[in-house]
Structure 1
Amino acid sequence: MSTTPDQPHGGHQDLVVRPDGTLPERFPDPGMEPHRSRKSDLDEKHAKKVERQVVALFAVSVIGTLVFLVAYFTLPVGTPADIKVSNLTLGLGLAFALLGIGTAAVHWAKALMNDHEVVDERHPVQSSPEVREAAVQALKDGAEDSKIGRRGVLKGAMVSALALFPLAIVVPLVGEVGEDWNVGKFKRTIWARGVRLVKDPDGRPIKASDVTIGSVFHVIPENLEEAEHPLDEKAKAVVLVVRMDPRDLKETEERKSWSYDGIVAYSKVCTHVGCPVALYEQQTHHLLCPCHQSTFDISDGARIVFGPASRPLPQLPIEVDSEGYLVAQSDFHEPVGPSFWERLT
């Protein structure tokens, strides 16, 4: 199908077909579409309105950063409800701080900066002195096109937003200086000989007869409330109790006494990055971490079946007391939680 040179097609001029039916060797340069001026280019009042909008967006960023900083220093984090409120406020503050800067920059570029299309011809890697001088001049022209020099309020709003926003990143990092970085604390929990296993969160002791094959209990130590920092201790001591057919258990000689009639107890804290491992598949006896899909076989010492975790889940040795309740024989025999620089394997 041939068309005349002036016939429009897709917004561009079609190629001229030669009399012999062949096409030319090169595509003709269609050129640029005519420049269409924006309302802010033609009306200074509208340009001022856009400027106020950009200033307002930078102000949103400033307010977001201030909300983040105030929340970081003032909101308590003692209870789960406090932590939820703190995280929500910090997240919203950081979101508005970033959103304000990003939206302001886009709106500024689209409505105020020069939008004339230009062609920059490809040139050798090493530019001549004349070209370098032209590049410097282009940067100066760009600064002029942005109109930042003639819009003091806009410049002040941008500088304020950009100057304050890094505090939302730096302050939490600096706040960690002087904190307790002793990873040795993860080698010990408040589990000890004779401490009863109780249900989380109601705190009811668990009898071995209550645990049927295939059932799962989320467990904490009975003496948790006696700890100086209960939430911290709970984060380390949470345990998952499962009962399976004793014939399905593959136990080493050392660990044969750590279970009771098919009942085993393993740390819920994933050894990858510490997420709660809580998804149990009865048929395969696999525990799945929902964060990064590390999978552990609790019928075989919580052996790693799949995923990035580098070591099995620590097992809590358990037994039954004189009243039939499940109790710990001792603390974990290895650190709970992620593998760190003191525990790489």
Structure 2
Amino acid sequence: MTDIALEMPWLAKAWKTVQTGLRDDRLPHALIIAGERGVGKRAWADAVAQLLLCDQPITDAEGGPVACSVCKQCALLGASSHPDVRAYSPEKSKVIKVDQVRALTGFAVASPQVARRKIAIVDRADQLNINAANALLKTLEEPLPDVTLLLLQESGRPVLPTIRSRCQVLNIPAPGLEQAQAWLEAKTAEMDEAERPSPETLKKALMLAGNAPRLGLEYATGEFIQLRDEAFEQFRQFMKGQAPVTQAARAFKALGLEGALALFEGWAADLARLVAGGAAKDTEAAEMLGYLARTNPGWRAHQLQDKVNEARQAAVYNANPELEAAQLLIEWKKLMPKRRRAS
């Protein structure tokens, strides 16, 4: 496996923390890794799992341990078949259920099969339902010496305080534009020229991803940008009274519920920034959001963010994406100044 700190330099600080903890035998039994979607949390967790399981770690240029990539443990991890690593993530219900955590508990109390320790990755810990969270808490309260838990948390999504208090938290910030752009250009340079996104597409993808490189890569090589542009145009037309809510909602439905909610959430955050005198991250939406910022107090932006959170919670119960989008559009429309009737 490539040295994660070299491949994605913005992960270096969090990576160094694990190297130091392992070298000094002070690694905590549970880590929460928090960061924006697409910043590389899962890649970081996979690299940590390899480092902790490697039989023959070597030393990097700065004196920290790194996985050798050639021992039996590294070979099993490279083949995605290591029996002492388990990952748990939301299923069709969009949450991690208690049965999954019970399976994690069973895995934790069993003896390692081929390595000296076991690694459990919870991707994402902010999607544990209440029963699953309580079950995980019991495992955290009685840590086992041969088990390390890596809990991934998306920024802005809460984890129960009782769980958070029993873990060490590592924050992974998104890189700056220059670093993110360099990484994205290097990744897309490996693609066939005919499929390679244009520089303009890469720039826009990073803007929409908030400089999260891996999410930017997903946007640049998929359909998201086109679907987002169609949704934004329908949003503009709806806000001006030139398109019905049903038509605008269909455009957001095409993004999928999480994609639509991410757009609404980003615009609400930009609105709050503009009201406070800052700048919008979505530069294409800045003009419209700036107009709304001049005519609305800051609490309206936070109210919109609360509505997005309510819609996200409803998604757990298979809410209708088009209906949720329509309801959010109606909330946005309330921010438009009411026209005075001619006397």
TM-score (norm 2): 0.23
Which structure carries more relative contact order (alpha carbon 8 Å, separation 6+)? 2
Higher-Rg structure is 1
